[in-house]
Chains A and B, each alone.
Chain A
């Protein structure tokens, strides 16, 4: 069959109407889409396009199991994301995917989630799954770090989780004004006070790569097996179908083999600056 001139179905963006736009903080919005039947797993990403502007990979921040709309949390950092983050209700975006690997199933033991900045968005679905499973699993710990109190993502939802769930949630910021009564310091300083049962702990990490490297190293030093430390890695994902190689990290093509990977599979590669 001659397929020249025909894009595979997986490459065709599906038009989706913007149902709601929630401003999370300056330059960062959560866009809810009328996606219809759209199966995905927490941790996966989609390619989001604005016609005539460009296409970018964005992690899904909604929970696939709670019946809420498909949600994407986007920060305007470049030309394409600036246009997408400025969409209004009723406008349309092109969506391809979902792509990539998901967070593993919620483990039986203790689950530690460490998120930095917007890294909370890809972890949100996994956290909500863990909350629903809390009766049958061990501790659910969420450690979250960001620059300052005004940049805490999903702040009202976090507060609700703190008050209404049994999850142990701790937040830290890099700096704050007087009146802030929480922690100020690196996210790894929160780890120091957690008495982890290392042999029974699985960790999901998402945030700036330096933060994940340091956190994974500290977790390994505490005795958590690198095969139970899972990271969500970002590279420049352009095609999302493992064809262009732009998101290669050593032997991995992250749009296919990631974004969620085991630390035991990437720890060495993450230490090589050229990759």
Chain B
């Protein structure tokens, strides 16, 4: 089995495609390689958001519980995307459950370590927060469109 250094795994991830190798190198000491099995809970709603995961392969479901309806998947996060963004802002608590669908391979960053690196070197901090903005905007856009309930019959302005 070939074991890739975690720095290479970060560099190969789609989220880091536009950055130079320097940022990946500087953040590598906060990262480790992780694997989750099918159905495994990756994190749970309300617990400390202590990780950022870069999905290398596989898919994870973000779930929440709706009384009377059980658990509902509200989004899936797939290869090349970031899972777990709540570590960016206080109170650093997760909003949803995350569960592996099939085997999920990821790079896991320790959130405290990441924040410390960003605080100590604003250049890294700026570059890294710039990487986090597109997924945040993407999720905001998705949530707004989904809130419109586009596919519901009541969305038809001219019901006949």
Contact = CB atoms under 8 A, between A and B. Distances in A.
Interface of A: 27, 54, 56, 75-81, 116-117, 145-147, 151, 174-178, 180-186, 189, 193, 207-208, 210-211, 214, 235-236
B159 A81 contact: yes
A223 B46 CA distance: 42
A146 B151 CA distance: 6
Q: Which secondary structure dominates where chain B touches chain A?
A: mixed
Which of B59, B79, B154 has the most chain A CB atoms inside 10 A of its CB? B59
Task: In the A-B complex, list the 3 residue pairs whose CB atoms are closest, starting with the nearest.
Answer: A78-B159, A117-B151, A208-B150
B150 A78 contact: no
Contact of B159 (A77, A175, A183): A77
Given A177-B71, A178-B63, A80 B160 contact: yes
B140 to A, nearest CB: 12
Contacts of B159: 77-78, 81
A268 B119 CA distance: 45
A77 B153 contact: yes
Interface stretch (B26-34, B122-130, B141-149): B141-149
Nearest to B159: A78
Contacts of A235: 158
Contacts of B149: 147, 174
Contact of B142 (A56, A185, A208, A211): A185
Given A116-B150, A151-B151, A178 B142 contact: no
Nearest to A79: B160
A57 to B, nearest CB: 8
Contacts of B89: none
A176 B151 contact: no
14 contacts: A75-B153, A76-B153, A77-B154, A77-B156, A77-B160, A147-B152, A177-B72, A178-B73, A181-B101, A182-B76, A183-B78, A186-B141, A208-B151, A236-B158
Contact of B80 (A174, A184, A193, A210): A193
A186 B150 CA distance: 11
Contact of A185 (B76, B102, B148): B76
Contacts of B73: 175-178, 180, 184
B156 A176 contact: no
B155 interface: yes
B61 interface: yes
A54 B153 contact: no
B5 interface: no
A193 B149 CA distance: 24
A239 to B, nearest CB: 14
A30 to B, nearest CB: 16
B136 interface: no
A19 B55 CA distance: 51
Contacts of B112: none
A178 B62 CA distance: 10
Contacts of B19: none
Contacts of A80: 160
Contacts of B75: 184-185
A174 B71 contact: no
Contacts of B20: none
Given A81-B159, A186-B142, A178 B71 contact: yes
Contacts of B74: 175, 184
Contacts of A177: 69-73
Given A175-B72, A180-B73, A186 B146 contact: yes
B138 to A, nearest CB: 8
A210 B156 CA distance: 12
Contacts of B138: 189
A182 B73 CA distance: 10
